[in-house]
Amino acid sequence: MHVNLAEFTSVVAAISATAAAVSAWNSRQNVDRAHRPFVYGEPELRSHPELPVVRIVLYSDGSAAGREVRTRLESADGRWIGPAEGSIRALPVGETSAWFEVPYPRHVGAYVCVVRYLDTFGRLWEVRNPRNPPAPLEGPKRVRRRKRKRAW
């Protein structure tokens, strides 16, 4: 059996180039994930004599600071319950924010705490925390922004 050396080396070169491209892509994805912020809100129901409120505390658990952090409550079907609350310029790694109080939505059975923030590259991310009824965190997922620069 005769093997053409020129064809063999070109096939090996193509395979090694493909392996190098896949390795570089995987490396870039890992670096991107390693330096991504992760900010989430933890809501809890507080009872006041006149009006019950939902207190939201923001936590930053990622490896980078979250910028332009905003939070709001949504009903389980995606409608806004109130205005966006809690605008924070930057939330450093490992920090906890001051709490924000939002009137408790009595007319809504299930609600979700939604947090949106920017990473260091200016990409917008969203984390959803379904709390009534309790469920695991959803996200972070990337949100496509419209032409305006605001997070909401």
What confidence tens digit (pLDDT) does each residue in 33-86 have? 777 888 888 888 777 777 777 888 888 888 888 888 888 888 777 777 666 666
- Reduce the DSSP state of residue 60 to 3 states and report it: strand
Structure tokens at 143: 């949100």
- Of the two residues 123 and 98, the one the predictor is more confident about is 123
For the entire predicted model, the pTM comes to 0.68
Which ranges in 1-152 belong to alpha helices (H)?
5-34
- Reduce the DSSP state of residue 10 to 3 states and report it: helix
- Reduce the DSSP state of residue 47 to 3 states and report it: coil
CATH number of 39-143: 2.60.40.10
Q: How far apart are CA 43 and CA 25, in angstroms?
A: 38
Whole-number pLDDT of residue 150: 53
In one letter, which amino acid is 107?
H
Of 21, 152, 4, the closest CA to residue 84 belongs to: 152
